[in-house]
């Protein structure tokens, strides 16, 4: 893709990024492995994770002077979670711009929460390098702050395993049990998690890690239980 093809993303971000850094931020490791080991976005993701964490931590600290550390930590975990960042990514149409390998392309990688979240963090890292910490912080807060006001709405999606456990208990069911299997080469493994809550519900989820697969399965199971209780 040329830089011009990312114009809609640049507009959505509202900040310029050099073509080289933008291309790097959008390059998933699956694309890199299929194209001779070209650089991919995981180092930028590592940097962007810290940019995100500091910006959100500072905002929560300043905006909530009466909240104890535990409450602030829980809010931060929700806002910087994979599911939350995937919401941000979908709002700016990020998926269509990611450079993916054929395998990920064929298995719906453009809408996988883990890939969307990681690429969002890589963009934060790229902006930090290109425009400095203040511009990067402003970008993070512009994109992520709306979620702070929606924490209750996103409660289950932020921490689906806890939400499922609470829903199961409320219905008098046992604690959820998980089984996980993995397939694929080491550099591109796919995990499938299956969760059961007694006879109440069974659901599956996939992800690029055991944790992400379990979260996806838990969210699917919670969604089903919530729909049932709402009828």
According to the annotation, is 58 in a ligand binding site?
no
Q: Is 159 annotated in some ligand binding site?
A: no
Give me the mean pLDDT over the 144-159 stretch. Answer: 70
Q: Which residues pair with 79 in a beta bridge?
A: none
Taking a C-beta distance cutoff of 8 angstroms, is the pair 40, 27 a contact? yes
Cα separation, 133 vs 78, in Å, equals 23
Least confident of 8-17, 57-66, 206-215: 206-215
CA 161, CA 137: separation in Å to the nearest integer? 30
Which residues, in sequence order, are CB contacts of 231 under 8 Å at separation 6+? none
82, pLDDT greater than 90: no
The confidence band for 130, taking pLDDT boundaries of 50, 70 and 90, is very high
Q: Is the pLDDT of residue 158 over 70?
A: no
- As a whole number of angstroms, the distance between CA 215 and CA 207 comes to 9
Domain ranges of the chain: 6-158, 161-230
- Model pLDDT for residues 14-46, shown as the tens digit of each residue: 998 999 999 999 999 999 999 988 999 999 999
CATH value of 161-230 in 1.10.645.10, 3.30.160.20, 2.160.10.10, 3.30.390.50: 3.30.160.20
Q: Measured at the alpha carbon of residue 96, what is the angle toward residues 129 and 2, in degrees to the nearest 5?
A: 60
Q: Can you tell me the mean pLDDT for 62-91?
A: 86
Q: Name which residue leads in pLDDT, 229 or 225.
A: 225
User: Are residues 195 and 189 in contact, defined by beta-carbon separation less than 8 angstroms?
Assistant: no
Q: Residue 101 — pLDDT band, cuts 50, 70, 90?
A: very high
Asked if 176 contacts 196 with a C-beta cutoff of 8 angstroms, the reply is yes
What is the pLDDT, as a whole number, of residue 17?
A: 93
Confidence of residue 72 (pLDDT cuts 50, 70, 90): confident
What residues are labeled active site? 49, 121
Mean pLDDT of 126-155: 86
Nearest to 182 by CA among 215, 216, 206: 206
pLDDT band at 1 (very low <50, low <70, confident <90, very high): very low
150 is annotated as contributing to ligand binding: no
The CATH fold of domain 6-158: Ribonuclease iii, N-terminal Endonuclease Domain; Chain A (1.10.1520)
Q: What percent of the chain has pLDDT over 90?
A: 52
């Amino acid at each position: 893709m040329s830089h011009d093809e990312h114009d809609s993303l640049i507009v959505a971000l509202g900040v310029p990024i050099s073509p080289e850094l933008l291309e790097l931020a959008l390059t998933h490791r699956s694309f890199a492995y299929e194209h001779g080991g070209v650089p991919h976005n995981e180092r930028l993701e590592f940097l962007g994770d810290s940019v995100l964490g500091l910006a959100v931590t500072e905002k929560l600290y300043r905006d909530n002077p009466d909240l104890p550390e535990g409450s602030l930590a829980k809010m931060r975990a929700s806002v910087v979670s994979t599911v939350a960042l995937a919401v941000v990514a979908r709002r700016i149409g990020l998926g269509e711009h990611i450079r993916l390998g054929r395998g990920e392309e064929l298995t719906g990688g453009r809408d996988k929460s883990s890939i969307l979240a990681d690429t969002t963090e890589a963009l934060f890292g790229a902006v930090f390098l290109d425009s400095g910490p203040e511009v990067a912080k402003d970008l993070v807060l512009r994109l992520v702050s709306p979620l702070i006001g929606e924490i209750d709405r996103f409660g289950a999606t932020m921490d689906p395993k806890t939400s499922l456990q609470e829903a199961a208990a409320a219905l008098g069911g046992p604690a959820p049990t998980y089984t996980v299997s993995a397939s694929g080469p080491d550099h591109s493994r796919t995990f499938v998690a299956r969760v059961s809550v007694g006879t109440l519900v069974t659901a599956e989820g996939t992800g690029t890690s055991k944790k992400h697969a379990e979260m996806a399965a838990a969210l699917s199971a919670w969604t089903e239980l919530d729909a049932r209780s709402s009828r």
